[in-house]
Each structure stands twice: as structure tokens, then as C-alpha cells.
A and B are shown apart, each in its own frame.
Chain A
Amino acid sequence: MASELTTESYISHHLTNLTCGKTPDGWTCDPYKVDQMGFWAFHVDSLFWSIGLGALFVFVFRKAISKNSDASVAPSGLQNFVEMSIEFVEDNVQSLFGSVKNTLIAPLALTVFVWILLMNLMDLVPVDFLPVLAGHIAYAIAGDAVEWIKGPESLYFKVVPTTDPNITLGMAFGIFILTIYYSITVKGLKAFIAELTLHPFGKYMIPINFVLEMVNFIAKPISLGLRLFGNLYAGEMIFILIALMLFFSSIPIGVLGFGLHLVWALFHILIVALQAFIFMALTIAYLAMAHETEEH
């Protein structure tokens, strides 16, 4: 199949998720039947890396606890890293959240930050490495049994979960639910509804107020999710385009591509950490807003 490889197929191969869902013929992961699956389909690759990296986060931090249990011993290695991240999160929560007492915010922020950072870091793994590896493994294990696996290339496999809008919007959705929950429990349902309907034009313009406030309210999680997705998707795209320079061009352009790859990877480290931080900071900020009783 390598002879059929074109620029277009290479790019689309890298931008398509491994999707499994229910078709009229039953459950399948056949990429040519994705259109029949409708809403109830899952991006198996995104969820695999998302859950795997989340589990890695839990595993590493749990491991640090077992070493951590004695306060009289000076921390070292992994434990230092873990405590540094916790201190970092605590500082941010302190500065954005101030005096509000809520034990969930800091663990939430920590989870979101470390998890997104890990998912973003997958972008730094060479673009072809894991997809090709996964394709070969799948072909070797299930090549004969599953009819739609015709070769190592027929398996789509996206490695960076945060380049999948489902993942980023899914997390933003979880935070949106928490925002609503705390808005109602802290402010009370009446105050929450009043906040959505009585501003900015007073009680005689309730429908207009509601529309305006709803836009404002819903824009927060959507922008939160799409910001992360957009940044990482663009970054991934550039990696793919640079990789194309290596495969489909002459040697000088290939060498240039190699240099560009290095430069972009270095620059991308900044984006990776920055986007994880922004997502965390906005999560804290939105939840802090949910706790503010009188904001106008």
C-alpha cells in the first residue's frame, strides 16, 4: 500500500480517529462505515490514550504517596516532582480562588493540568511512530479475523487525545456541569436564575437578558474546549506537514524539514505546557465565578 501513499491520504490518515460504533450490521471499527454509526460511536484511540495517561497520572502520584508518608524524611526524586506540581496548583488556586473554601478545586485543577500536559506531550512523539506501530500490531493480531483490516495502513490511529475535539469538549463539559452544580448549591437556585435573567437590562427585559446571558454562559465551556483543541490540532498539523517534507521531496528539502521539525518541536514544548496551564487556570476561574454571590 505504500506505493499508493499520497500527500492527501497521508494527512487524512493522521487526522482520522479509530472509530468504533454501532452500525445496522452490528458493532464495528471499520473506517468506511463511520457514516452509518451516528452519534453513538467512540474514538477508541483518543479514549485509549486519555484513559492510559490519566491512569499514568494516578499511578505516578500514588507511588509518590507511598514514599511520602513520613514527613520527617526529606523528599527526593519523583516525590519532589509531585510536590512541586501540587505547590504550583495550590499557588494558582490561592491566587484565583482567594478565601473560598472548596476542597474539590485544587485536586480538580491538578488532575486537569497534569492530565492535559501528558496528553499534549504525546504530540512530541514522532508523528508516524505510534500509528505505524499500532497498525502493525493490529494487523499481526487480528489481520485474518477482522475483514476490514487489510494491511498495517488500514488502521487509523490518532495519538494525541487533545487534538480530538470530543476529548477537549468532553472535559470542558465536565467542568461546565461542575460550574452549574456549584452555582446552584453555593448561590441557590433563585440567585442563579436571577443572575441569568435580570442582567444586564433589568427585570422588564427578561427574555433578552436570558439570551445574552446564556450565550455568555455557554461560550465559556465551548471556548475552553475549542481553545485547547485548536492549538494542539494546529501543532499536530504542522508536524504532519513537516513530516511530508521528509517523505515526498528532494534531499535538500528533507534536510530543511528535519531542521524545521526540531525547531517546531522545541517551540511546541512551550505550547504544550502553556495550553495545559491555560486550561487549568480557566477551570479555576470559572469555578471561582460560580462561587461569587454578587458579581454585578
Chain B
Amino acid sequence: MNINATLIAQAVVMIVFVAICWRYIYPPILSVMKEREKRITDGLEAAKKADDSLEEAKLAFDKELNQAKAEAAEILDKANARASQIVTDASSKAEAEAEKILTSASTTIENETNKAKEELRQQMSDIIIDTTQKILGDEISKEKHEEILKKAAEEL
């Protein structure tokens, strides 16, 4: 436990180790730590920014979505209205057509009926004249008894 030259040797050794640490160990580690710290700070800031922009994007998205929904509803309303319009139009048109067809059909039927009646009347008068001629001989002719025939046809 004497004090001897070990003391001086230790002081020298200490100066050497401190110098090594000062020159080669401390600065590189500290600079990397500082750089990493800066990176982390930057990263956190960027994350915050990204968060904010995400929030913004969400708001914008919601807005767009609502707008789109409103538009869709409007389009749907329009389409419904148009569809019912078309249905109404179509049914009224169909009704009109049906009416028209019905009218023309009844007209045709009436015409046909009249025509048939006329024909019948004609044939009837022909048959009557024929028969009368045969019965009475040539005393009666179409030309002579025009008047009578006409009267008879009208009575039929």
C-alpha cells in the first residue's frame, strides 16, 4: 500500500484512455445519436403531417360521398318520375289505340252489314222479278215495272 510510481503510471494511462475516448469514441457515437434523434423528430413530424392530411382526406371523402349520395338520390327521383311518366303515356296511348281500333272495327262492321243488306235486297228483288216473270210470262218486265219494284224494295 505504498505510494509509488504506480500513481504516475496510472495518471499517464488515464490520459491515454481519455485521449482515445475523446478522439475516437465519443464524437462518432454522439454524432450518430444526434442524427438519429433528428431523424426520429423528423419522422414524428412527418407522421403528424400525414395524420393531418389523412384527416383532411377523410373529410373531403365524406363530403364527396354525401354529394354523390345526394346526386344519386336526385337521379333516382328523376328516373322514377320519368318511368311513371312513360307508363302513364304508354297506357293512355294504348287506350287511345284501343278506342281507335274499336271505332274502326264497328264502322267496318256497320259498312259490311249495310253492304250485305243492300246485296240481299238486290238479290231479293231479282228473285221476285224472276219468279214473277215466270209466273206471269213476259207481261211484266224490269223496265215497265220499275216504279213498283222500287217501292217493294223499299218496303223490304
Contacts and interface: CB of A to CB of B under 8 A. Distances in A.
Interface string B34-69: 011001000000000000000000000000000000
B21 A107 contact: yes
Interface in B17-45: 17-18, 20-22, 24-30, 32-33, 35-36, 39
Given A83-B29, A107-B18, A34 B10 contact: no
A71 B35 contact: yes
A68 B14 contact: no
Contacts of B10: 46-47, 50, 166-167, 170-171, 174
A169 interface: yes
Contacts of A16: 1
A68 B13 contact: no
Interface stretch (A58-66, A139-147, A211-219): A58-66
Given A69-B32, A167-B10, A111 B17 contact: yes
Contacts of B13: 47, 50-51, 54, 170
Most B CB atoms within 10 A — which of A34, A167, A170? A170
Nearest to B24: A62
A42 B25 contact: no
A43 B8 contact: no
B136 interface: no
A86 B33 contact: yes
Contacts of A167: 6-7, 10
A137 interface: no
A42 B22 contact: no
Contacts of A72: 36, 39
A166 B35 contact: no
Contacts of B21: 57-58, 61, 107-108, 110-111
A58 B17 CA distance: 8
Contact of A170 (B9, B22, B30, B33): B9
Interface residues of A, number: 54
- Most A CB contacts (10 A, CB to CB) among B9, B21, B33 go to B21
A171 B11 CA distance: 5
A40 B39 CA distance: 54
A58 B14 CA distance: 12
A169 B7 contact: yes
A267 B17 CA distance: 30
A40 B29 contact: no
Nearest to B25: A61
A15 B1 contact: yes
Given A39-B5, A47-B9, A71 B22 contact: no
Q: Which of B6, B22, B39 has the most CB of A within 10 A?
A: B6
B6 A104 contact: no
A164 B10 CA distance: 11
B15 interface: yes
Given A41-B2, A167-B10, A170-B11, A57 B17 contact: yes
A232 to B, nearest CB: 13
Interface centre among B8, B26, B28, B35 (most CB of A within 10 A): B26
Contacts of A57: 17, 21
Contacts of B39: 71-72
B7 A170 contact: yes
Contacts of A276: none
A290 to B, nearest CB: 16
A68 B17 contact: no
B3 interface: yes
- Give 10 nearest A-B pairs by CB, closest first: A170-B10, A166-B6, A107-B26, A71-B35, A107-B22, A170-B7, A43-B6, A174-B11, A166-B7, A71-B36
25 contacts: A16-B1, A19-B2, A19-B4, A38-B4, A41-B4, A47-B9, A50-B10, A57-B17, A62-B24, A65-B28, A65-B29, A68-B32, A69-B28, A71-B39, A83-B33, A103-B27, A107-B21, A112-B14, A115-B17, A164-B1, A166-B7, A169-B7, A170-B8, A170-B11, A171-B11
Given A111-B18, A166-B6, 18 more contacts: A19-B4, A39-B3, A43-B4, A43-B6, A47-B10, A58-B17, A69-B28, A75-B36, A106-B26, A107-B22, A108-B18, A108-B21, A108-B22, A110-B21, A110-B25, A111-B21, A167-B6, A174-B15
